[in-house]
Structure 1
Amino acid sequence: MSGPSLKKPDAHSSIHEAALNEAKELMEIYRRCLEDNQEEKALQVAEIIIEHWETRTLKHAEAEEEGLYKEMVEENPEVKELVIQLTRDHDIMRRIVDQMKELLQKQVVDEQFISLMNGLIIVDLIHNEDEMNKLLVNDKH
């Protein structure tokens, strides 16, 4: 069973918005470290960014997959294809985070990390929009 806030569009949207705003702020801090040639600090920020995506967005995604999505499909089988698409978005985000981890393990501090973060943010924005406008509008709760 999913948490009650996952089924409430306003609360659910707030969860997404807060996590995305934090991610954007962290990306700006990382970008400033690159501009200031603070490689060691950039590596520390990169670690925090990865932790942020894993503990905020990807944990939330896991909760959606284990609870909300299953409940929504049980209540309305017509959303099954949409749930498959939304789950695929989560998989793409996990893969991008894995690529970020590889860069961190190699101690790579460059624009490639920012490109990956931008990709994550874009996928997450589209995903959140689809969830709010296609999945949760169908819910009668």
Structure 2
Amino acid sequence: MSGPSLKKPDAHSSIHEAALNEAMELRAIYQQCLIDNKKEKALQVAEVIIEHWETRTLKHAESEEEGLYKEMEEEKPELHDLVIELTRDHNIMRRIVEQMKDMLEKQEVDDQFTRLMDGLIVVDLIHNEDEMNKLLPHGKH
């Protein structure tokens, strides 16, 4: 069973918005480290960025998959394809974060890491929009 806030569009949207805003702030800090040629600080920020995506967005994704998506699909089987699409988004985000972790392990801090972050943000924005506009309106009784 999902938490009650996951089915409430406003509360759910707030969760997404807060996590994305934090991700964009961290991206800006990382980019500034690159501009300032501060590799050690960039590595530290990269570590925080990965932790952020894992503990905020991907942990939230996991709870959606285990609760909200299953419940929504049980209530409305016609949402099956949408649930697959939304889960695929999560899997793409997980793969990008894994690539970022590989780069961090190799201490590769460069614009490629920034591009991966940008990709994550874009996928997450589209995903969140689909959840709000396609999935959650079906939860209204």
The runs of 5 or more residues in structure 1 that have no matched partner are none
Q: Report what 2:12 is aligned to.
A: 12
How far apart, in 2, do the equivalents of 1:12 and 1:26 lie? 22
Deviation at 1:88?
Answer: 0.2
Q: Report what 1:62 is aligned to.
A: 62
The runs of 5 or more residues in structure 2 that have no matched partner are none
Measured against aligned partners, the alpha-carbon deviations of 1:50-84 in whole angstroms (never above 9, x if no partner) come to 00000000000000000000000000000000000
Q: Report what 1:103 is aligned to.
A: 103
How far apart, in 2, do the equivalents of 1:140 and 1:22 lie? 29
Deviation at 1:47?
Answer: 0.1
User: Which residue type is aligned with residue 115 of structure 1?
Assistant: R
How far apart, in 2, do the equivalents of 1:32 and 1:90 lie? 28
How far apart, in 1, do the equivalents of 2:52 and 2:22 lie? 8
TM-score of the superposed pair, with normalisation by structure 2: 0.99
Deviation at 1:140?
Answer: 1.9
Measured against aligned partners, the alpha-carbon deviations of 1:98-136 in whole angstroms (never above 9, x if no partner) come to 000000000001000000000000000000000000000
Q: Report what 2:33 is aligned to.
A: 33
Q: Report what 2:138 is aligned to.
A: 138
In angstroms, what is the RMSD of aligned CA positions?
A: 0.5
Deviation at 1:36?
Answer: 0.4
Deviation at 1:42?
Answer: 0.1
Deviation at 1:91?
Answer: 0.1
**Paired residues for 1:60-99 under 5 Å:** 60-99=60-99
Instruction: Give the number of aligned pairs.
Output: 141
Please state whether the residue corresponding to 2:68 is helix, strand or coil.
helix
Please state whether the residue corresponding to 2:140 is helix, strand or coil.
coil
How far apart, in 1, do the equivalents of 2:47 and 2:61 lie? 20
Please state whether the residue corresponding to 2:79 is helix, strand or coil.
helix
Identity fraction in percent: 79
